[in-house]
Amino acid sequence: MKIAEAAFLGRGIYSVQEAAALTGVSARRLRRWLLGYEFRLHGEPRLSEKILDGELPSINGTSALSFLDLQEARCIAEFRKRGVGWQSLREAHTRGQSDLRTSHPFGTGQFKTVGRRLMWDAATEENDGILLDIARSQTSFRSVLAQFLRGIEFLNDRPVRWFPLSGSKRIVIDPRRNFGRPIVKERGVPTAILAQSYDAEGSFEKVSRWYEVDIRSVKDAVRFEHDIAA
């Protein structure tokens, strides 16, 4: 096996557009988080450093994200939705990389237990009132993480599977299966194939028979694909 191929095994691989559909974070924002970007302030060129330490090498010059990158991005997005400043997030991220000894501190199970302290330290350092309010209350901090944590399974503090469809465990994103593409858990059929077949045929029953997938899984696959397309 080539080294380049081994770099992708068990990590999942998603284009920026695919990652945007799955995480709800725009492709433009993901690229900026992954690569950094230049801007001008008072006419002077400035550089905003990347905050996502991508696990994967570029493919033909095109950036890609891993499963762990996806989870890190989802957590960052939740804090940004609450109005947490970039400088505070960067400070917390840097502290987390050092304290937790990982390039993806926000995406690990350890962040559930020590993340509040990291955010408190960063809020104090950067005088960030919004983040300070979040870190002050355990209930408030947990509410920020609730959306990020929903459906994720951890093993040794590393996210290993994600059930992205609310209220269902029939659809799974597992970096060890089908390169991390969304699939039906029991049969491993990609949700995209099931949804495309349903859209063409208009019958859950026929798709269920064709792919030997139970009808409830077919319905969940269609709902999931239609949701992310929207």
Q: Write the pLDDT tens digit of every residue in 38-81.
A: 877 777 887 888 899 899 887 777 889 999 999 999 999 999 99
Tokens standing for 32?
């900026």
Among 68, 25, 27, 33, residue whose Cα is nearest residue 180? 68
Residue-level pLDDT at 6: 56
pLDDT tens-digit series, residues 141-158: 999 898 888 899 999 999
- The percent of residues in the chain predicted with pLDDT above 70, rounded, is 97
Distance in angstroms (rounded) separating the CA atoms of residues 61 and 73: 21
Radius of gyration of the CA atoms of the chain, in A: 19
Q: Is the distance from CB of 91 to CB of 125 less than 8 angstroms?
A: yes
Q: Identify the residue whose tokens are 């269609």.
A: 222
Of 49-63, 82-96, 128-142, 168-182, the range with the lowest mean pLDDT is 49-63
What confidence score (pLDDT) does residue 8 get?
63
Phi and psi based region of residue 148 (left: phi greater than 0; alpha: psi -120 to 50; beta: remaining): alpha
Structural domains in the chain, CATH included, are 163-230 (1.10.10)
Q: What angle do CA 30, 162, 194 make, to 5 degrees?
A: 95
Cβ(64)–Cβ(15) below 8 Å = yes
Strand-pair partners of 65: 14
Element (H, E) at 95: helix 86-100
